[in-house]
DNA sequence: TTGAAAGCGCTAACAA
DNA sequence: TTGTTAGCGCTTTCAA
């Protein structure tokens, strides 16, 4: 049993068509320049051997790669999954493929991933950085591999970036609650948070400070077993806090869902006793009981725009730039005035 | 501004270290064979020029590719996102990277994706087929590209496969309801469903038939705007059906969530008036109100095992095989006996 | 309009 | 222990 590995090469096509490899190459890349008759013979031969162009060989010759890397926290996370889908679709017009990897927020995994992507000769990399040190990214960029920052502010870096104003998102949530009359507000976060969550927390803190209030900072260990359960288990600490908060801003919708569930189990009414705000506006948010007030951001578009920026890096007059999206407060039924608003007046 | 594109090549390293390229190659692949002193000089040079191996060149020389393709319905779908994460992790020990694409259940997109992956010279492809025709997959396999079927039974195909017994999953759901006393049972599916959902529906139908019952088949248009809303909107049709069902098996948890919400809005109690079963056991399932009875499957492991099978294809004594997972009924509070069970006796 | 030839970066067989 | 050499499949001058 002869295992014909891969489709035939250009040489085989040339042999069958009775022409040289360069003529086959011409048929493929500038058909107009080849005599109609020859072209026909070559096309027949291409079908006959089931010719498939060899990407690596093309790349070795210096043609642009069709591979684009995506480096995120976790491609199973619904947020990054949507972002990746956005990247995939943004890449499609250029015929590029998505090489996706997860860092689990570990700088060592990130570094290794970047290394592998560089070896593959990717056309560029979209990354939601796990580490705080941007120098590996600048190094990649200096070596000619375009890097686009995702869900991350550009600051003074000489790179393209797609960012959401996370601090504003936090501020919107806090101001909504302050406007409702809340004075004791908690932020439910993880023991170790990715940068966007840190910025949300600081946004909340800043808004509270501007109103002369202090943030109650509650941290849960996320990993074992799950954010959902960790958030539900945080209820005790929230209720025990003194002064007890009348509102909780959660790091994301998943945490909010867990918290909602834990509060319900504890017999605490939402929003009558405690208001809850999520972040992300996952599809389920509006179907929860009560429908969740949350801050939305354009997940899919984030990825799509990142892909477009990346593809643009190859074009002549490209200059690095940052595209900034604004988060959006979506008020539903999980927030309301605090119970004893009168006595706060 | 001289843009030094990519890191230095092996030749540059060789030049700096004052040795030949093959010595550099030796340092990299069989360091033991190189004199300690020479090796040192080469290693220094490698650092000096920031050498990064060129993957495509290696591949052109015939070394195995580090790229593995994953072709699914939609990488933003939580189920496939988890599967992809499983593949990624299953690939990691071999240092392979995940090239992920979505078909949106369209055979033309699938074909194009497979084509691109073949061009890239991937080491293999894990695929949840969109089309019903397996011949393109067999063709790929014949060309030396291992193909592993995902979430798809192997049947008589000469390929590796990782499958879940979807018909059994449907049967478990149906038998649970029949055991509770239900006689009028509906399946809530999409207008066009992927194969696994079709098999679930047939499993339900078969279990009902075995009990002398007939399936009430309800289809909703999924795409615009969302499954969640489509399911919620299906409530009218479910309530209007005659005879009106006392239980609904949903194509997945998302649909169940939408349905739960629609039922609640319509003032129908779950499970007192209607029982609801989901499928997938998403993390949110146990946090819904009421906690959702559903059928679970090992999403992450599916991907992980698929990756392992794929990697095994490269090894000497490999024979194609199928790994089959059993779905699992998870009984929670969204199912119970029908209201008028007495009159059914 | 077609073909010959060089070379991208690397590996491996072989020679020195 | 190290170097020379051929060649993987392709693109791209340049010459015929």
Distance CA A241, CA A236 (A): 9
Residues of CATH 1.10.260.40 domain(s) within chain A?
4-60
Within window 2-41 on B, which residues have Cβ closer than 7 Å to strand C? 6, 9-11, 21-22, 25, 28-29
Contact A185, A217 (CB under 8 A): no
Q: Is B275 helix (H, G, I), strand (E, B) or coil?
A: strand
Q: Which residue has the higher pLDDT, A288 or B7?
A: A288
* Distance in Å, residue B31 CA to nucleotide C11 C1': 15
Residue B223: per-residue pLDDT: 65
Q: Burial-class residue A93 by CB neighbours within 10 Å (0-12, 13-18, 19+).
A: exposed
Q: What percent of chain B has pLDDT over 90?
A: 83
Q: Does the pLDDT at position B222 exceed 90? A: no
Distance CA A221, CA A234 (A): 10
Contact B68, B122 (CB under 8 A): yes
Distance CA A107, CA B317 (A): 38
Chosen CATH of B4-60 out of 2.60.40.10, 2.60.210.10, 1.10.260.40, 1.10.10.10:
1.10.260.40
Q: Is A279 helix (H, G, I), strand (E, B) or coil?
A: coil
Q: CB distance from B54 to chain A under 8 Å? A: yes
Contacts of B65 in chain A (CB under 8 A): 56
Q: CB distance from B3 to chain A under 8 Å? A: yes
Contacts of B79 in chain A (CB under 8 A): none
Neighbours of B49 (CB within 10 A): 18
Query: B285: which DSSP letter?
Result: G
| Of the partner residues B5, B76, B144, the one whose CB lies closest to the CB of residue A81 | B76
Residues of chain A with pLDDT under 50: 1-4, 342-345
Residue B233: per-residue pLDDT: 87
Provide the chain A residues 58-77 that lie in CB contact (below 8 A) with chain B: 59-60, 66-67, 74-77
Q: Report the candidate in B87, B97, B88 with the shortest Cα–Cα distance to residue B67.
A: B97
Q: Does the pLDDT at position B5 exceed 90? A: no
Mean pLDDT of chain B: 92
* Distance in Å, residue A33 CA to nucleotide C1 C1': 8
Q: CB distance from B93 to chain A under 8 Å? A: no
Question: How many CA atoms are closer than 13 Å to the CA of A248, on its beta-carbon side?
Answer: 35
Neighbours of B132 (CB within 10 A): 7
| pLDDT tens readout for residues B14-57 | 999 999 999 999 999 999 899 999 999 999 999 999 999 999 99
Residue A225: per-residue pLDDT: 63
Q: Burial-class residue B207 by CB neighbours within 10 Å (0-12, 13-18, 19+).
A: buried
Cis before B209? omega within 30: no
Residue of chain B minimizing CA distance to A123: B6
Name the CATH superfamily for B67-164+299-325: Response regulator (3.40.50.2300)
Q: Report the candidate in B214, B212, B202 with the shortest Cα–Cα distance to residue B173.
A: B202
Neighbours of A260 (CB within 10 A): 28
Min Cα separation B221/chain A (Å)? 17
Distance CA B310, CA B314 (A): 8
Residue B2: per-residue pLDDT: 34
Residues of CATH 3.40.50.2300 domain(s) within chain B?
67-164+299-325, 166-297+330-344
Residue B278: per-residue pLDDT: 97
Distance CA A232, CA A260 (A): 7
A102 and B118 within 8 Å at the Cβ level: the answer is: no
Crossing angle between the packed helical segments A21-29 and A10-17, to the nearest 10 degrees: 100
B75 and A97 within 8 Å at the Cβ level: the answer is: no
Neighbours of A332 (CB within 10 A): 17
Positions on chain D within 7 A of a protein C-beta = 1-5, 7-13
Mean pLDDT computed over B149-164: 93
Q: Report the candidate in A66, A85, A42 with the shortest Cα–Cα distance to residue B56.
A: A66
Q: CB distance from B235 to chain A under 8 Å? A: no
Q: Does the pLDDT at position B177 exceed 90? A: yes
Name the CATH superfamily for B166-297+330-344: Response regulator (3.40.50.2300)
| pLDDT tens readout for residues B47-100 | 999 999 999 999 999 999 999 999 999 999 989 999 999 999 999 999 999 999
Mean pLDDT computed over B168-197: 96
| Of the partner residues A59, A75, A283, the one whose CB lies closest to the CB of residue B81 | A75
Q: CB distance from A88 to chain B under 8 Å? A: yes
Distance CA A302, CA A323 (A): 9
B6 and A144 within 8 Å at the Cβ level: the answer is: yes
């Amino acid at each position: 049993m002869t295992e014909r590995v891969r489709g035939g090469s250009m040489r085989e096509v040339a042999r069958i068509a009775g022409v040289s490899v360069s003529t086959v190459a011409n048929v493929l890349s500038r058909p107009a320049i080849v005599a109609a008759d020859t072209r026909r013979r070559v096309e027949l031969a291409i079908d006959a051997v089931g010719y498939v162009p060899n990407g690596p060989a093309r790349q070795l010759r210096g043609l642009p790669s069709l591979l684009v890397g995506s480096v995120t926290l976790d491609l199973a996370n619904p947020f990054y999954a949507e972002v990746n889908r956005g990247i995939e679709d943004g890449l499609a017009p250029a015929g590029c493929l998505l090489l996706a990897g997860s860092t689990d927020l570990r700088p060592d995994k990130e570094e290794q991933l970047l290394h592998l992507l560089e070896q593959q000769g990717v056309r560029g990399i979209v990354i939601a950085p796990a580490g705080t040190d941007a120098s590996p990214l600048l190094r990649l960029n200096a070596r000619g591999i375009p890097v686009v920052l995702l869900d991350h502010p550009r600051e003074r870096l000489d790179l393209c970036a797609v960012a959401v104003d996370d601090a504003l998102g936090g501020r919107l949530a806090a101001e909504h609650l302050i406007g409702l009359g809340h004075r004791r507000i908690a932020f439910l976060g993880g023991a170790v948070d990715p940068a966007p969550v840190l910025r949300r927390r600081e946004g909340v803190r800043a808004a509270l400070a501007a109103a002369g209030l202090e943030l109650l900072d509650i941290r849960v260990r996320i990993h074992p077993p799950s954010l959902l359960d960790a958030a539900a288990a945080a209820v005790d600490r929230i209720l025990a806090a003194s002064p007890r908060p009348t509102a909780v801003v959660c790091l994301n919708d998943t945490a909010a869902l867990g918290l909602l569930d834990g509060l319900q189990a504890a017999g605490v009414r939402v929003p009558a006793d405690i208001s809850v705000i999520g972040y992300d506006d996952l599809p389920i948010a509006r179907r929860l009981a009560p429908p969740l007030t949350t801050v939305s951001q354009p997940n899919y578009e984030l990825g799509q725009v990142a892909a477009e920026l990346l593809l643009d890096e190859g074009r002549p007059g490209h200059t690095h730039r940052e595209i900034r999206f604004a988060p959006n407060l979506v008020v539903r039924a999980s927030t309301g005035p605090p119970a004893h608003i009168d006595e706060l007046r």
